[in-house]
Amino acid sequence: MHILSFIILFTCILVPFPKISVANDSINLPQSMRDGDTLVSKTRKFELGFFSPGSSQKRYLGIWYKNIPIRTVVWVANRENPINDSSGILTLNTTGNLVLTQNKSLVWYTNNSHKQAQNPVAVLLDSGNLVIRNDGETNPEAYLWQSFDYPSDTLLPGMKLGWDLRTGLDRRLTAWKSPDDPSPGDVYRDLELYSYPEFYIMKGTKKVYRFGPWNGLYFSGVPDLRNNTIFGFNFFSNKEESYYIFSPTNDLVMSRIVMNESTTIYRYVWVEDDQNWRIYTSLPKDFCDTYGLCGVYGNCMTSQTQVCQCLKGFSPKSPEAWVSSGWSQGCVRNKPLSCKDKLTDGFVKYEGLKVPDTRHTWLDESIGLEECKVICLNNCSCMAYTNSDIRGAGSGCVMWFGDLIDIKQLQTAGQDLYIRMPASELESVYRHKKKTTTIAASTTAAICGVLLLSSYFICRIRRNNAGKSLTEYDSEKDMDDLDIQLFDLPTITTATNDFSMENKIGEGGFGPVYKGILVDGQEIAVKTLSRSSWQGVTEFINEVKLIAKLQHRNLVKLLGCCIQGQEKMLIYEYMANGSLDSFIFDDKKRKLLKWPQQFHIICGIARGLMYLHQDSRLRIIHRDLKASNVLLDENSSPKISDFGMARTFGGDQFEGNTSRVVGTCGYMAPEYAVDGSFSVKSDVFSFGILVLEIVCGKRNKGLYQTDKSLNLVGHAWTLWKEGRALDLIDDSNMKESCVISEVLRCIHVGLLCVQQYPEDRPTMASVILMLESHMELVEPKEHGFISRNFLGEGDLRSNRKDTSSSNDVTITLLEAR
């Protein structure tokens, strides 16, 4: 039957058709379209014709955007069978099929064999869909054929990506082999029809990335796409169809999704002002998006130094491999399950997850979570369960059977997952909760005690104001106005073991920093003000005033202060991983920070600075941003610290000037070091230095190559001009974990931040946009770094203190005005 249909079809293409130049949106039965002719949709949005991709000379029939200057092909007919010259002819035959020929040889044809053609016509619609329909018919269900059913590498608004279960049609995106070759490569996005279906990016038969199943609001692995102003999207699944579809929220916005041969899927948005396509999102997004990276029962966490963590109650199957980042073997249970008595097992709730691969799942949308739990508990093979639809209170039931793989801890949103555990592990969870409750009660009692003591010392301080210096009196008067906890000296002395050297963790600009533990078990960092530091009193009060009012996840949190006699101290939350410089400039510890953590740190610092510059009540300029003033918490999330040098501005003030230049050699902007002029762009300059230091693991003040005048910025600039920016990368640390495009983007952004003139440098809001998107960046101009020779070696030596952490020391330059 198929052979007979082909013979009839091939005979039809040999029948001569009138040569008619096509200039509208359709081809009728008497017409043919030759190379050079085109169809244009009614509003001139899309065009169909012959083209040659890239540098290729071969000819293809395709569809592209008509009304933009950059030819952007969205569909190709003869992907696997190009035409060698301009002899291609497209015709419509009486069976309702389009036929493409070259010198009377068949090149490509449509496959309508199910619907009756009656006066067929081929039309290019404004959606970009090429359809064959009976003349006058507008119902899409009655189309004889449509290009939307046969995507190339691009998904347009209104296209369905997924399965038509009635006909067995699989609509998938398949990447071009190269920009010069649109033939299907081995990279594609496909929907797997499991009981709980989900999309994958595949390379051949290998899973590269998993979107996660649809949970009623979004795909489990990409919750951040649900809140955007560019497009809306949905997923439909029933007995007839299972597919994803998206549409723009504004008809004036052009958006498309493209599957790339590098196993990345991009969403592009046309920016009219720039007359260019900009990348709005891309997937995979980070290291933890690598399919199955942590093996079974491993949870991938980008915020951790060691990104793969075993779920609670599990341990690495191969501890030796796990330590060296060999995570593929995954994790095993610490204690076996017992299914002989259903009461001996239970479930532990995990929150904020991309749920596991759904290959071995069972779905029932008619039952709720409680019934789901009962069914799962009574089946020894059921390892986890959750709601299939998380809207409202949640509904539906999905269960996992066998080992759980490809779990990711999400920073925002994510789903709950109930994982089967033996009774002994459940008991440890309950004990942990009970301990947490006890600690909370103890903490409350301790806080009440501290408040009573604080009230006593405030009264005592006020009574003893007489006889003090003007500076001391004003300082304490200022402290009374702050809504902040006051600690007494005995409490801090006990917490720091009498300020012992064992508790000393660093040296600040005006005195040592100690680790302490309060009576309730809370760990603290105590920053002391050296008595010999005459200029530090003002900075101390300044820091308290500023930080007490700042609330941001990337700024260190001030817990309180201590003022007693000549002793002045700031009490901060303790940062378990210390300062950033102790990691990035140490060859051994640097290896613990894989590229995803480094990129996470860079973006976190940028968000903290943007808050200071733009989102806080007053505009704040830090003036001393450097690696030693960035602290890392237990999750390696960065927190900007040390606000002693910061200056505040009103909402309409952007810059200032000072005769007392403060800052650190290696990070100061030229206009600040030379003229004392500072602005938000001074902090941007320091941020640029910090980005380059993080990427290459070297201090800016080091000397590079044979030219001993080159610091890191000069070295980076030289490599950039020579097209060798990747030579900056620390190969020993990044070769397995780095995303080259992200590293290059960070270097590019860093060089933009250290440009000589402040007006050329981006704002921190622009920096975040450049880091977290794929927008095209301008070329950086000459850098503006002031070398250490400007200040003289003597200045550096006379201001350096010996410390265990070898941090850069803040210096002060006094200039006559």
State the first-to-last Cα distance of the chain, in angstroms, to the nearest integer: 97
The Cα 480–Cα 658 span in angstroms is 28
User: Kind of pairing, strands 485-486 and 558-564?
Assistant: parallel
The Cα 680–Cα 40 span in angstroms is 50
Only one residue has tokens 């793969």, namely 308
**Residues that are catalytic:** 624
Burial class (CB in 10 A: 0-12, 13-18, 19+), 274: exposed
Q: How far is CA 226 from the centre of its chain?
A: 15
The Cα 742–Cα 727 span in angstroms is 15
The Cα 60–Cα 80 span in angstroms is 10
Strands of 396-491, DSSP E? 397-401, 407-409, 415-422, 485-486
Residues in contact with 316: Cβ distance below 8 Å, sequence separation at least 6, in sequence order? 310, 322, 327, 329, 330, 331, 332
423-462 b/e (C-beta count within 10 Å ≥ 16 → b): eebbeeeeeeeeeeeeeeeeeeebeeebeeebeebeeebe
Residues in contact with 634: Cβ distance below 8 Å, sequence separation at least 6, in sequence order? 576, 577
Helix (H, G, I), strand (E, B) or coil at 759: helix
Which whole-number Å values give the CA distances from 473 to 466, 470, 477, 563, 727, in the listed order? 8, 5, 6, 12, 56
What dihedral do alpha carbons 48, 54, 57, 59 form, nearest 10°?
Answer: -20
The Cα 200–Cα 291 span in angstroms is 9
Nearest to residue 754, comparing CAs of 816, 677, 671? 671
Residues in contact with 477: Cβ distance below 8 Å, sequence separation at least 6, in sequence order? none
Cβ proximity of 543 and 570 under 8 Å: yes
Cβ proximity of 172 and 156 under 8 Å: no
Beta-bridged to residue 361, according to DSSP, are 400
Which whole-number Å values give the CA distances from 196 to 356, 423, 731, in the listed order? 11, 29, 41
The Cα 132–Cα 316 span in angstroms is 57
